[in-house]
Amino acid sequence: MREKILHIIEKNSRIDISELAIMLGASEIDVANELKSLEESGVICGYHTLINWEKTSIEKVSALIEVRVTPQRGQGFDSIAERIYNYPEVNAVYLISGGYDLLVSLEGKSLKEVSTFVTDKLSTLDTVLSTATHFILKKYKDHGTILDSKKPDTREKVMA
Amino acid sequence: MRNPISDRVVGIKPSGIRKFFDVVSEMPDAISLGVGEPDFDTPWHIRDEGIYSLEKGRTFYTSNSGLMELRKEICNYLHRKYDLTYNAKDQVLITVGGSEGIDMALRSMINPGDEVIIPQPSYVSYEPCAILANATPVIINLKAENDFRLTAEELKAAITDKTKVLIMPFPNNPTGAVMEKKDLIEIAKVVIENDIYVLSDEIYSELTYTEEGHVSIASLEGMAERTIVINGFSKAFAMTGWRLGYACGPKEIIAQMTKIHQFAIMCAPTTSQYAAIEALKNGDDDVREMVEAYNQRRRYLLHVFKEMNLPCFEPFGAFYIFPCIKEFGMSSDEFATRFLREKKVAVVPGTAFGDSGEGFLRISYAYSIDDLKEAIGRLKEFIDRLRAEKAE
C-alpha cells in the first residue's frame, strides 16, 4: 500500500484521505496512519505546487550552476553543500559525479539578482574553485509534468 | 436497375451504438462515459519504436502471418502470462485488431447451418460475423444474478447437434464480468463432452482485477486443441489506433485463417508490428501502471454507486461497469437518451450489446478520476431527479 500511496500523491498531493482509501480498497484509518508514518519518517518531505511562472506576470529567472569545490578533510562535500543550500534563493543542491561537484538550482527575480548571488556569494566561498552558470530559457517539462500541455480528448465519444 | 445490395448484409442490424453516436456527434459540449478505448496514450517507448521503423524505411509488407520476431514474442508472452504454448511458425497469425481474428476464425470453422453460441451481453461483432460466415447464431442471455458469468447449465441448454463453436467473451465488454478458473473448468467439461470448439476473445485479458488474474480457457487440459485465442495490443498497451491483434490456435485452423487473411488483408500494418515487438519486450511496467489506475477508478465507481443506491455487481475485468437502472421504469435506451439530453453525458445503453442488456448501462472508466467525478456528479443529479419525480 505504501508504494501505491506514494505513486498517487506524487502526482496529486491534494487528494483527500477518504478518496485515497476508496481507490486503494483500504480503510481510511490505515491510509491516514500510513501517511502519518511516511511524513514522520521523512519519506514525504512536503506537499508542493507545480507552478508555471511563465504564465503569470511575475518575473522569475532560473539558473543551474555547476560548482567545482575542494572537499574538506573529515567533512567531504557536506559542509560546503550546507553553506550553499542555506541561502533561501537556492532551490536545490545535488552532489554530482563527473566533471564538477555540485549542481545548484537557483531562482531569482532577475538576471542581475542571480549573477550577483554567483559573483558575490557563491564564488567567494573559500572552497569554491570555479562556477559555470546556465540560465534556463524555457521549461518544457518539470517534475514529470509537461507544462502547457492540455490535450483535448479526441477519442470517439461512444464506441463499442 | 438491379438491386446492388446483398440481402444477407442488409439483414444485419446496424450496431445499436450507431444511433447514439449520431445524437452525441450533434452535441459537441457533451461529456462522455461511453468510450471503448484506454485514455492513456501509447507509452512513448512503443511509439518511438514505430517512428524508428519508419525512419529506417521499414515500409514494406511483412509475411502474411506477420513478422516472425513478433510472433515469437507473442508466444513468449502468452507462455509467461497465461501458461499457453504455441509454435510461432504455424500457430500464430498477426491480425488487424482482434476484430479481424474473430471474423476469420468464424469463417474458417463454419459450414452453412452450423450453430455458433454467443453469450450476451457481449461485444457487437460476434453475431454479424457469425451470420456473414453462414452460421446460425444461438444467443445465451447471461444473467445479472450470476454476475454475468456463463454457467455450464446455460451452455448445455444451448447446445444442439448443430453446435460448432462457442464464443467466450471474457473479460467481458460491456459487463466487466470475468470467468475464474473454477468457472472455466465447468465450461471446458461441457465443451469437450459435446466436441465443440471455442473462440475465446481475450482482448481484455491484461485488465483483470482478481487475485488469480486472467485464466485462458485454452490453458485447461484438452482445450488448446479446440480453442482459438483472440488477443491484441489495443487494450493492454493502449494501442487501439495501431490496429494490431493476433489469433493463436490449432495449426489446421490458423492455416485456413491465414489463407483468408492473405487474400483479404495481405498483412497487418508493418509499423504497428515493429512497435508491438517493443511493447511485448519492455511494456510490462506500463501495463502494471495502467491496470493499477483502472483498478483505482473501478473501486471509486463501485463506491459511489453504492452511495447512490444504484445496484451494480462488482466487475473484475475490462474497464466497464454495468449498473442496473430497472428501478426507474424506463428502457436503457430511454434512460441513456434522456441522460444525454438533460445532463449532456453519453453512456451506452446495455441493449447495444444484446437484449439481455436491457435495464443496464455500460459505463466506461477509461477516464481520469477528475473526469469521472464530473460525469458521475451529473448522473447523481439525474437519478435524484428521477427518484423525486417517481415519489411525487
pLDDT tens per residue across span B6-41: 999 999 988 878 778 888 888 889 999 999 999 999
Cα separation, B140 vs B117, in Å, equals: 7
Mean pLDDT of B221-243: 98
Range of the domain at A86: 53-138
Chain B residues with beta carbon closer than 8 angstroms to that of A20? none
The verdict on A21 and A64 lying in the same domain is no
Please give the mean pLDDT across all residues of chain B: 96
DSSP SS3 for A122:
helix
Per-residue confidence at A65, pLDDT binned at 50, 70, 90?
very high
Task: Give me the residue from B35, B124, B292 closest to A4, CB to CB.
Answer: B292
What pLDDT sits at residue B21? Answer: 82
pLDDT at A149 over 80: no
Domain of A89, CATH number, reads 3.30.70.920
Q: Are B235 and B44 in contact (CB under 8 A)?
A: no
The verdict on A126 and A76 lying in the same domain is yes
Per-residue confidence at A151, pLDDT binned at 50, 70, 90?
confident
The verdict on A36 and A61 lying in the same domain is no
The verdict on A92 and A36 lying in the same domain is no
Chain A residues with beta carbon closer than 8 angstroms to that of B124? 160
The verdict on A57 and A130 lying in the same domain is yes
Cα separation, A4 vs A23, in Å, equals: 10
CB pair distance less than 8 Å for B303 and A160: no
CB pair distance less than 8 Å for A8 and B36: no
CB pair distance less than 8 Å for A23 and B296: yes
CB pair distance less than 8 Å for A156 and B15: no
Domain annotation covers residue A123: yes
pLDDT at B322 over 90: yes
What pLDDT sits at residue B314? Answer: 97
What count of residues does chain A have? 160
The verdict on A28 and A96 lying in the same domain is no
Domain annotation covers residue A16: yes
For A97, counting Cβ atoms within 10 Å of its Cβ (0-12 exposed, 13-18 middle, 19+ buried), the class is exposed
Nearest chain B alpha carbon to A160: B36
What pLDDT sits at residue A61? Answer: 94
Chain A residues with beta carbon closer than 8 angstroms to that of B296? 8, 23-24
The verdict on A130 and A63 lying in the same domain is yes
DSSP 8-state secondary structure symbol assigned to residue B175: T
Percent of chain B with pLDDT over 70: 100
pLDDT at B242 over 90: yes
Mean pLDDT of B39-67: 98
Which CATH architecture fits B58-283? 3-Layer(aba) Sandwich (3.40)
Query: Which residue is associated with the grid cell 505504501?
Result: A2
Rounded to two decimals, the ipTM of the complex is: 0.85
CB pair distance less than 8 Å for A157 and B24: yes
DSSP SS3 for B197:
strand
Domain annotation covers residue A46: no
The verdict on A120 and A86 lying in the same domain is yes
Q: Which of B306, B309, B302 is nearest to B387 (CA)?
A: B309
pLDDT at B311 over 80: yes
Which CATH architecture fits B7-42+285-391? Alpha-Beta Complex (3.90)
The verdict on A77 and A103 lying in the same domain is yes
What pLDDT sits at residue B66? Answer: 98
The verdict on A36 and A57 lying in the same domain is no
What pLDDT sits at residue B19? Answer: 78
- Number of domains within chain A: 2
Task: Give me the residue from A24, A25, A157 closest to B34, CB to CB.
Answer: A157
CB pair distance less than 8 Å for B346 and A153: no
The verdict on A115 and A67 lying in the same domain is yes
* pLDDT tens column, B284-293: 999 999 999 9
Task: Give me the residue from B34, B173, B292 closest to A158, CB to CB.
Answer: B34
Q: What stretch(es) of chain B map to CATH 3.90.1150.10?
A: 7-42+285-391
Find the helix packing angle between B68-82 and B270-282, rounded to 10°. 40
- Residue B136: strand pairing partners: B115
Task: Give me the residue from A22, A23, A160 closest to B36, CB to CB.
Answer: A160
Q: Are A80 and A113 in contact (CB under 8 A)?
A: no
pTM of the prediction? 0.93
Cα separation, B281 vs B117, in Å, equals: 36
The β-bridge relationship of strands B227-232 and B31-32 is unpaired
Q: Which of A150, A15, A159 is nearest to B364 (CA)?
A: A159
* pLDDT tens column, B81-106: 999 999 999 999 999 999 999 999 99
Cα separation, B122 vs B318, in Å, equals: 12
Min distance A156 CA to chain B CA atoms (Å): 6
pLDDT at A24 over 90: yes
